Every structure is written in structure tokens, then in C-alpha cells.
């Protein structure tokens, strides 16, 4: 009986069966042999199980499809010692930690003079990096890692602080000069050009012109500024995803400011 049931399965056009089953109908071959209902009900059950597996695999394939050449590096800039945690200059580190937590990527591997980890985000291969070179030598970590994974410069997204923007404001750019930021200067020098996207995170301007810049960027955020930063992390995440989807212009129009 089992063999006969499988024989019946073999003569049924499977693609036609899939169309009928997916439309909620009853496969027509069950109507052809009413005198052998047990046999054909058995075949019906077997084919039902086959199509369930078929659709599950098809659905699974859609959610896991990924271009093997589509790989991105997102680097958050900062200084490595604990005493710099919560400072304005470590806004990039804090933003990267937020992305890592949201995406479930452990940034704990030690190589390339930094802490890094990799995962998949919406079909993109993603490497997250926190350079441990101190801010002014950030490129010494980013360039070797990008070279190892063969990541082109336009697939390197840099997260860093921006003293020209109010706390929590975002400025997304596809390329450009360092604008006085020593971390960006190092990256431009090591990557050999300015053609990499960056998300600059506002940390606020110096309170007065004669205030020492180093003291300002190495100072810690007051609670209200820290909250303003954290409130923008969902927007920063959405912007990073749009950039990886090739929609940097849309990210700018939606999240700049």
C-alpha cells in the first residue's frame, strides 16, 4: 500500500499540485478514484507533507539570501581606556556599542589593533570595529581590517563625534574632508582618499572660544546630552541600514539634523 501511494505521487504533476494546494483547493486526483479512497487519501497526506516542506524551504531561502560580495565595515571612533567612557570624543564607540547590541554582534575579537566582530544585517555581511589605536591613529586599525576582508572604501561607514552639531544631531555624508577631525584625517590617509561614508554625531560646541578643545572633547556628557545622544540611536541604526541598501541620499533626507 505504501509503495502504491508513492507511485501515485510520482505520476502527479507536482508543480500543478503546489498551485492547487497553495490556492486552498483540493487536489483533483482525489476525485478520480473514489473506490480507493484510503489509497488516495494516503497519497494526499504524503503530498501535503511534501508541499509543506517545499514552502518552508522556499520561505527560508528568501530570508537568508545574501550576496557573498556584499560586505560592510562600520567603525566607531574613540579612545580605548575606561577613563574615556562617556566622553564626547567616544561618541562613535557608544554608537557602535548600540548597533552591536541591537544586531546581536559580539565586538570582542582582538586583531587589527582593535575590537571587532561580524554578523549579518538584513542580508548584508557586516563587520563592526572599535579601533584601539587612540583616535588620532584610527586608520591604522581600519585600513588593515578593510584590506583583509577586501572591503572597498565606499563600504566603510565611520561613526564619529562632531563638535559643530548640537548633541544628538546627525550629519550623514557620502565622502568629504576630515573637517578638522583627527580620526577622519588618519582614515583618509590610510585608505588613500575621502570616498567613504560617515555618520557624524553631534556632541555640542565649546561653550566659549577660549575653551581648550581637547578638554572639551575629552569631557563627559552631562545627563541631558547623554539622553539626547541615546534617543538618536534608532535613527542612526536606520540610517546605517539605508546606506548599506544603497540609499544614502534617503538616509540624509530622513535623518540629517
pLDDT digits (tens, 9 = 90+) for 110-162: 999 999 999 999 999 999 999 999 999 999 999 999 999 999 999 999 999 99
Mean pLDDT of 186-202: 98
79-91: b (≥16 Cβ within 10 Å) or e = bbeeebeebbbbb
Of 247 and 20, the structure prediction assigns the larger pLDDT to 247
pLDDT of residue 63: 42
pLDDT band at 41 (very low <50, low <70, confident <90, very high): low
> Per mean pLDDT, which range of 64-68, 69-73, 93-97, 185-189 is the poorest?
64-68
pLDDT band at 37 (very low <50, low <70, confident <90, very high): low
pLDDT at 79 > cutoff 80: yes
pLDDT at 52 > cutoff 90: no
pLDDT at 5 > cutoff 60: no
User: Whole-number mean pLDDT of the chain?
Assistant: 84
124 part of the active site: no
pLDDT of residue 48: 56
Phi-psi category of residue 24: left, alpha or beta, with phi > 0 → left and psi -120 to 50 → alpha: left
Mean pLDDT of 105-113: 97
- Considering the candidates 53, 89, 155, 181, report the single residue annotated as catalytic: 89
Output the CATH code of domain 72-255. Answer: 3.40.50.1470
Strand partners, 129: 75, 116
pLDDT at 28 > cutoff 70: no
Query: Could you read off the pLDDT of 203-250 as tens digits, one per residue?
Result: 999 999 999 999 999 999 999 999 999 999 999 999 999 999 999 999
Instruction: Judge if pTM exceeds 0.85.
Output: no
pLDDT of residue 69: 73
Of 37 and 143, the structure prediction assigns the larger pLDDT to 143
pLDDT band at 20 (very low <50, low <70, confident <90, very high): very low
pLDDT of residue 44: 53
- CA 95, CA 221: separation in Å to the nearest integer? 14
What are the cell numbers at 155? 563600504
Binding residues for tRNA are 84, 134, 136, 182
Binding residues are 84, 134, 136, 182
Residues 6+ apart with CB under 8 A from 180: none
pLDDT band at 27 (very low <50, low <70, confident <90, very high): low
Burial class (CB within 10 angstroms; exposed 0-12, middle 13-18, buried 19+) of 194 = middle
- CA 220, CA 36: separation in Å to the nearest integer? 80
Amino acid at each position: 500500500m505504501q509503495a502504491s501511494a508513492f507511485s501515485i505521487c510520482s505520476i502527479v504533476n507536482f508543480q500543478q499540485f503546489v498551485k492547487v494546494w497553495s490556492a486552498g483547493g483540493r487536489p483533483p486526483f482525489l476525485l478520480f478514484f473514489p473506490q480507493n479512497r484510503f489509497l488516495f487519501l494516503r497519497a494526499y497526506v504524503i503530498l501535503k507533507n511534501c508541499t509543506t516542506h517545499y514552502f518552508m524551504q522556499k520561505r527560508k531561502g528568501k530570508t537568508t539570501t545574501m550576496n557573498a560580495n556584499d560586505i560592510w565595515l562600520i567603525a566607531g571612533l574613540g579612545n580605548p581606556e575606561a577613563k574615556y567612557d562617556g566622553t564626547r570624543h567616544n561618541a562613535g564607540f557608544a554608537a557602535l556599542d548600540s548597533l552591536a547590541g541591537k544586531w546581536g554582534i559580539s565586538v570582542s575579537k582582538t586583531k587589527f589593533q582593535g575590537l571587532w566582530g561580524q554578523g549579518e544585517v538584513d542580508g548584508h555581511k557586516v563587520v563592526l570595529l572599535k579601533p584601539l589605536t587612540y583616535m588620532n591613529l584610527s586608520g591604522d586599525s581600519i585600513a588593515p581590517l578593510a584590506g583583509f576582508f577586501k572591503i572597498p572604501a565606499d563600504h566603510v561607514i565611520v561613526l564619529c563625534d562632531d563638535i559643530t552639531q548640537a548633541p544628538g544631531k546627525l550629519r550623514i555624508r557620502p565622502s568629504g574632508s576630515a573637517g578638522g577631525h583627527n580620526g577622519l584625517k588618519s582614515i583618509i590617509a590610510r585608505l588613500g582618499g575621502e570616498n567613504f561614508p560617515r555618520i557624524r554625531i553631534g556632541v555640542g560646541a565649546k561653550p566659549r572660544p577660549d575653551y581648550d578643545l581637547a578638554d572639551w572633547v575629552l569631557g563627559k556628557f552631562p545627563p541631558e546630552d547623554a539622553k539626547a545622544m541615546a534617543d538618536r540611536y534608532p535613527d542612526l541604526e536606520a540610517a546605517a541600514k539605508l546606506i548599506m541598501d544603497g540609499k544614502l541620499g534617503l538616509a540624509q533626507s530622513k535623518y540629517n539634523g
